[in-house]
Amino acid sequence: MEFQQLLYDGTNQFRELKASGGFDSNESNLVLVFGQRTILEKYLPYAQVKASFPNAEIVICSSSGQISNQCLIPEEIVITAISFDKTIIKTSSIDVLANNSVENLGKEIKNNLVTTELKSLLVLSEGTFINGTELINELIKQTESKIPIFGGLAGDEYSFEKTIVGLNSDASSGKIVLVGFYGNNVHFGYSTKGGWSDFGPEREVTQSEKNVLYKIGDRYALDLYKEYLGKYAEELPGSSLYFPLSMKETALSPSVVRTILSIDESNKSMTFAGNIPQGALVRLLKGNMDKLIDASSSAAHNIENKSNEQNQLVLLVSCVGRRIVLGERLEEELEVVKEIFGKNSLLCGFYSYGEISPQKDNIACELHNQTMTITTIFEE
């Protein structure tokens, strides 16, 4: 496996950040492009990328911050090209605005991607209106919980207005892109960590509908949430990124983090990035910068399958909420990861509206919020 990473600022030239010794642009078979939505719409980079990597599958995704081997890149588009020697790449996409059903995504996966040779699946989805839980459930259903799935929901800086994704074209609204990796020579490692601290008692969800939470115990969800937030309640919904919820579907289930997308003062409800089923157990979380950075370090150390000698791609998908909370210390959560993986690794990725990564006890995947997820990819 060989790779190259470039920056693009809308001119006719790329700026190289890193390349492995044997990289040949004509042999690249996968290119990942991350950038701010407004910049992607302004520069329309696909034609320029295609001219440089004519034989590659090109995936473009908007972000809330693009990650490179130099850590965070404020405004330029980050282009990461990979040449696999022995691994087959297949891609597919669906327009959920046109199809209006996540089940059509399932058909696309089943008909075009699922084979006995499928090793893992990368998913980059629009992140504005998709129900992340329904997306995950359909992915797991079509792969029968046998295939590890990773990726995330596209971002839009801090705007939450529109996200765009594209496959072999410039990015646009409503797209979900899937990349399948095939063969026995490609290897993956997966890890995810949050680093948020619990506060307040664990409580039961007594009224909800999909990703809308109405009541916790005998209290309206928004009333209870505001009570715990204190002075931060006046800054809702923006301040909710500092105080997500931890959720367990049952007492024995692993906990996942759920980000609040919006609130409704009229019915005192809260809408989340993933489903909050009735009967689930929830607890408020709060952020501590040191713990968030330590969690990123821990996620990197916990990767079970990584290469110290061979070229390795390290895909980071972190949450826009972490970026907001960490502020000027954001680079630290990226630098600790870079240091752990060493000189033969290439970092890329983005800050997202939702992270997709396997849990240790679940081979398929889970929707995460406010976490750092890490996927390593290398060939024998």
> Distance from CA of residue 90 to its chain's centroid?
20
Q: Answer yes or no: is pLDDT of 186 > 80.
A: yes
pLDDT over 70 percentage in the chain: 99
- pLDDT score recorded for residue 362: 62
Tens digits of residue pLDDT in 99-128:
767 778 888 888 899 999 999 999 999 998
Q: Answer yes or no: is pLDDT of 360 > 80.
A: no
Burial class of 18 by CB neighbour count within 10 A (0 to 12, 13 to 18, 19+): middle
Tens digits of residue pLDDT in 291-329:
999 999 999 999 988 887 889 999 999 999 899 889 999
- pLDDT score recorded for residue 101: 72
pLDDT band, very low/low/confident/very high, at 131 (cuts 50, 70, 90): confident
Domain ranges of the chain: 2-193+291-379, 197-285
pLDDT band, very low/low/confident/very high, at 273 (cuts 50, 70, 90): confident
Tens digits of residue pLDDT in 36-89:
999 999 999 999 999 999 999 999 999 999 999 999 888 899 999 999 999 999
CA distance 299 to 311: 20
Burial class of 144 by CB neighbour count within 10 A (0 to 12, 13 to 18, 19+): exposed
- pLDDT score recorded for residue 160: 80
- pLDDT score recorded for residue 23: 96
CA distance 301 to 168: 35
Q: Are 5 and 346 in contact (CB under 8 A)?
A: yes
Q: Are 374 and 299 in contact (CB under 8 A)?
A: yes
Mean pLDDT over the full length of the chain: 92
Q: Answer yes or no: is pLDDT of 361 > 70.
A: no
Q: Answer yes or no: is pLDDT of 274 > 90.
A: no
Within 10 Å of residue 98's Cβ, how many Cβ atoms?
A: 10
